[in-house]
Amino acid sequence: MAPPPACFRYPVHVPIHRLADQLVNQIAAGEVVERPAAVVKELVENSLDAGATRIDVEVVGGGLDAIVVRDDGGGIPQAELALALAAHATSKIATLDELEAVGSLGFRGEALASILAVARFSLASRTAEAAHGWQVGGAGAASGATPEPVAMPCGTKVEVHDLFFNTPARRKFMRQPATERRHVEQRLRCLALARPEVAFGFSSDARRVLEFARAAGTVALEARVNAVCGKEFLTNALAIDEARAGLRLYGWVGLPAFARNQADLQYLFVNGRVVRDKLLGHALRRAYADVLHSTRYPAFVLYLELDPARVDVNVHPAKTEVRFRDAATVHDFMLGAVHGAIRRARPDAEQHRVETFALPARSTGVAGAEDTPRAPPAGGGFSYSAPYRAGLALGRPGAGMGVGDWALADAVRRLEVPADSVPAAAEGDGNYALGRPLAQLLGVYILAENRGGLVLVDAHAAHERVLYERLKRQLAAGAIPSQALLVPESVRLGDDEIERLLAEREKLGRLGFRFDRSGPESILLRGVPPLIAHTDCSALLAELASGSAEGDSRHLFDEALDAQERVLANVACKAAIKANRHLTLAEMDALLRDMERTERSGQCNHGRPTWVQIGMPELDRLFLRGR
C-alpha cells in the first residue's frame, strides 16, 4: 500500500507546546500584512491615530525593498518604544467597553509586531517634550537592544526594509514592483479621501507621485476629491448630506450617465475607515438599480458617520468589513439617501454648463476646415468637429441617415454632460427646462431650444423612461394579483431558507407569491405574479430565499418586485416610439413636458442618457464667435 501523502502522516506523539512569539507574529502577519500596500495602510493608520497632520510615504521597488512612513504626530515616549513592537500592545484601547466603542482606526496592537516579524524594521520617534528622538529596530524579531538616540523632528518614522525577507514563500506571491506600487498608491488615495484634514505625500523610487495639501472645509474637500477622482467626477456628481436616526451620510454620488465600466471610482468610508461592505454595497446597487445597466458601475465618494458603538469593526483583521448593530436601518438609510438624491435632483445652471465641450486646441483650428477627415469613433482626443457637423447638417440632402446617426450619437456620447436629474418644471411664461421643440433630427433626436441654448433629446430613450415610470407606478399602486398554479410546484430549499420565506409569507403574498410548506425541505408554490408567470418562478423563489440569507428580509421583497419591474422595463422598451417615427411638434412638446414631470428621466432603463444640453457659449465656440 502506498504511504499516505506527507500532509496526512503524523508521528506517534508530539507534545503540545506553545508557539514561539516570532512564529505567532508571522502567522498574524499572514492575515494583516499580505502585501506592501497593507504595510502602508497599517503604518499610515497608526500615524492618523497619533494625530498627524502630515504623512509622507516613500517606497522603493514597489515597497518590497523599502517603505518609509513619516508623520508629525504625537510620537512615542522612549520608555514605551520597546513595548510598541510587542504583539498585543497598544495605547488605543484598554477595556472591552473601549473596544466596543472604538473610534481609532487600529486597536488590535498587532500591526507593528506583524510587520516586524516579516521584515527588517526600524521605529524612530520623538515626542514634543523630548529633546531628541529614540530609535529601536530588529529583523524578524525585536533586537532587544536598548533604544538609541537619533536626531529627528517631532513625530514618528517607520522604516521597513526587505519585506518578507524571511518568508520566501510569501515573497514569491508578490507581483511586479510596478503593480505593488500601484496598490500602495491606490490605498493611499483612499486614505487621503478618508482624512482630508491631513496632508499626504507619496513618492516612489525617489519620484514624487502624489501630493495632497491639508484640506479643511467643503471647498478643500472638493479639491481633495478632484485630486483623487479626477475633475469629471464632481462635475457629474450629486452632493448628498443627510442625517437621520443618528446616522449621517455625506459625499457625492456620480450621475447614472457617468457610470464606469469597472468598480474603480467607489469610495465608501464608515467613520473615516475605508470599507468594502456587502450590506452597504447592496444598498448602493439597489439605489442605482433601474437607472444603470447591470454591467456598469456607479461612481461615488461617500462618508457614513455614526456612533462607533453601533458598528463592530472587530470582524476582520484588515478591518475592511464591518458589522452594524442595526443593519436594516443603516441599509435603508443609505438606500433612501442615495436613491432620493438620484431621483430628486434638479438641474442647476452651473452643472449644466458644459465646460468640457470646449474644443481642444488642436482641433479648434480644423473646426472650420471643410474637408477634415472624420475622427475615428474611438480613442484619443475629443475631436468631434466633422462628425458633429455632419450630424447637425439638418437640411443637407447628402447627409446619409447612417452616418448622421452614428456621428451625432457618437458626438453626444462624448459630451460630458450631466444629462441627469429631473428637469425643473415650468417657471411660468413657457420657460420650460427642456425648452420648446424645434424639429426632429433624422428621425432619432428631438432638437429643442431653451434659455441655455440647444437641447438634444433621444426620443426613444426618453419615451421609454416615461413609460417605465408610469408602469412602475401602476404596479406599485394596484395590488399585484396572483395566478394560481394548476399543479403546484415543489421547490426544494434548506430548512432555514424555508423558515425565512414563511416568516414573510404574507408580504410575499402581496407581491403575488403564494406558497405553503410541504415537507422538511420543500415548499409548494401555489400562486405566482402573472407578470412573470411564464418564467421560472420556482427558481426565482429559491434565489430570493438564498439571496436574503446575508442581509435583512427587506431584500427579499425588493428582489421580488425587481423581477417584475424588469419585465415592465422590457414592456416599456418595446412600447416606446422607435427611431424613424415621425413626430409632430405637438407630440415632441408633449414628450418634453412628460420628461419634466417624470422622475429619473435623465436616463433610459439601460442607463443611457436621454438628453443633453449644448449651451450657447459652446455653440459660439464652434463658430469662433466672439473670439
Partner 1 sequence: MNIVISRGNLLSALQQVIGVVERRQSLPILGNVFLRVSDDQLELRTTDLEIQIGCAVQVQNLAPGSVTAPARKLYDICRGLPEGSEIELQEQEGRLRVKSGRSRYVLATLPAADFPELEQIEGQATFEMPSAVLKSLIVRTQFAMAQQDVRYYLNGLLLEVADKTMRAVATDGHRLAVSEEAVECTSEAGGQYIVPRKTVLEVARLLDVQDATVKLGLAAGQLVMRVNDCTLVSKLVDGSYPEYKRVIPENGDHCAVANREAVKQALTRAAILSNEKFRGVRVGLASGVMKIETQNPDQEEAFEEVSIAYEGEDLTIGFNVTYLLDALNAMNGEEFALEMRGPDASGLIYDEKIPQHKYVVMPMRL
Q: Which stretch binds partner 1 (CB under 8 A): 57-65, 455-463, 534-542, 588-596?
A: 534-542
Count of residues in contact with partner 1, rule CB under 8 A: 22
Binds partner 1 (CB under 8 A): choice among 483, 518, 522, 553: 483
Which letter does DSSP use for residue 108 in this model?
Answer: S
Q: Which stretch binds partner 1 (CB under 8 A): 31-39, 213-221, 479-487, 614-622?
A: 479-487
Which is nearer to partner 1, 51 or 530 (by Cβ)?
530
Which is nearer to partner 1, 356 or 483 (by Cβ)?
483
CB of 592 to partner 1, least distance (A): 22
Residue 527 interacts with partner 1 (CB under 8 A): yes or no: yes
Binds partner 1 (CB under 8 A): choice among 218, 474, 490, 580: 474
Backbone phi, psi, residue 472, to 5°: -65, -40
Handedness of CA 157, 161, 163, 165 (dihedral sign): negative
Handedness of CA 92, 96, 97, 100 (dihedral sign): positive
Q: Which stretch binds partner 1 (CB under 8 A): 17-25, 403-411, 496-504, 528-536?
A: 528-536
Q: Using the structure block, give the residue that is written with the C-alpha cell 485630486.
A: 227
The answer to whether the beta carbons of residues 247 and 281 sit under 8 Å apart is no
CB of 105 to partner 1, least distance (A): 50
Residue 412, all three cell numbers:
453626444
Q: Which stretch binds partner 1 (CB under 8 A): 32-40, 272-280, 413-421, 529-537?
A: 529-537
Which is nearer to partner 1, 474 or 584 (by Cβ)?
474
Q: Which stretch binds partner 1 (CB under 8 A): 265-273, 334-342, 420-428, 486-494?
A: 486-494
Which is nearer to partner 1, 246 or 530 (by Cβ)?
530
Q: What is the side-by-side order of every strand in the sheet holding 300-306? A: 237-244, 247-254, 300-306, 266-270, 273-274
Residue 590 interacts with partner 1 (CB under 8 A): yes or no: no
Which is nearer to partner 1, 219 or 486 (by Cβ)?
486
Q: What contacts 155, CB < 8 A, 6 or more positions away?
A: 50, 52, 70, 71, 72, 73, 75, 125, 126
CB of 533 to partner 1, least distance (A): 7
Which is nearer to partner 1, 140 or 488 (by Cβ)?
488
CB of 537 to partner 1, least distance (A): 10
Binds partner 1 (CB under 8 A): choice among 79, 96, 219, 487: 487
Binds partner 1 (CB under 8 A): choice among 114, 482, 598, 605: 482
Residue 514 interacts with partner 1 (CB under 8 A): yes or no: yes
Which among 82, 89, 133 is positioned nearest to 110, based on CA atoms? 89
Q: Which stretch binds partner 1 (CB under 8 A): 135-143, 340-348, 531-539, 614-622?
A: 531-539
Q: Which stretch binds partner 1 (CB under 8 A): 16-24, 27-35, 187-195, 475-483?
A: 475-483
Residue 524 interacts with partner 1 (CB under 8 A): yes or no: no
Which is nearer to partner 1, 105 or 572 (by Cβ)?
572
For every residue of 559-570, DSSP letters joined together read: HHHHHHHHHHHH
Binds partner 1 (CB under 8 A): choice among 89, 139, 190, 485: 485
Residue 86, all three cell numbers:
510587542
Residue 110, all three cell numbers:
498587532
CA angle 237, 242, 243 (to 5 degrees): 160
| 3-state SS, residue 542 | helix
The conformational region for residue 322 under phi > 0 = left, psi -120 to 50 = alpha, else beta, is beta
Which amino acid makes up residue 189? R
Which is nearer to partner 1, 387 or 529 (by Cβ)?
529
Residue 506 interacts with partner 1 (CB under 8 A): yes or no: no
Which among 142, 137, 156, 138 is positioned nearest to 43, based on CA atoms? 156
Instruction: Report d(CA 237, CA 608) in Å as an integer.
Output: 16
Which among 285, 251, 345 is positioned nearest to 602, based on CA atoms? 345
Contacts 24+ apart (CB under 8 A), 538-544: 538/489, 538/490, 538/491, 541/491, 541/501, 541/513, 541/515, 542/491, 542/492, 542/493, 542/497, 544/501
Sort 362 into a burial class: Cβ within 10 Å, 0-12 / 13-18 / 19+. exposed
Q: Which stretch binds partner 1 (CB under 8 A): 242-250, 281-289, 317-325, 482-490?
A: 482-490
Residue 327 interacts with partner 1 (CB under 8 A): yes or no: no
Residue 151 interacts with partner 1 (CB under 8 A): yes or no: no
Residue 42, all three cell numbers:
497599517
For every residue of 350-418, DSSP letters joined together read: HHHS-GGGSPPHHHHHHTT-TTPPPPPSSSSS---HHHHHHHH--S-TT--HHHHHHHHHHHHHHS---
Backbone phi, psi, residue 351, to 5°: -65, -30
Residue 477 interacts with partner 1 (CB under 8 A): yes or no: yes
Integer Rg of the chain from CA: 30
Which is nearer to partner 1, 99 or 567 (by Cβ)?
567
CB of 373 to partner 1, least distance (A): 39
Q: Which stretch binds partner 1 (CB under 8 A): 25-33, 362-370, 374-382, 474-482?
A: 474-482
Residue 478 interacts with partner 1 (CB under 8 A): yes or no: yes
Residue 486 interacts with partner 1 (CB under 8 A): yes or no: yes
Residue 481 interacts with partner 1 (CB under 8 A): yes or no: yes
Site for partner 1 in 12-71 (CB under 8 A): none
The answer to whether the beta carbons of residues 240 and 248 sit under 8 Å apart is no
The answer to whether the beta carbons of residues 75 and 85 sit under 8 Å apart is no
Which is nearer to partner 1, 232 or 543 (by Cβ)?
543
Site for partner 1 in 551-580 (CB under 8 A): 567, 571
List interacting residues with partner 1 (CB under 8 A): 474, 477-479, 481-487, 489, 514, 527, 530-531, 533-534, 536, 539, 567, 571
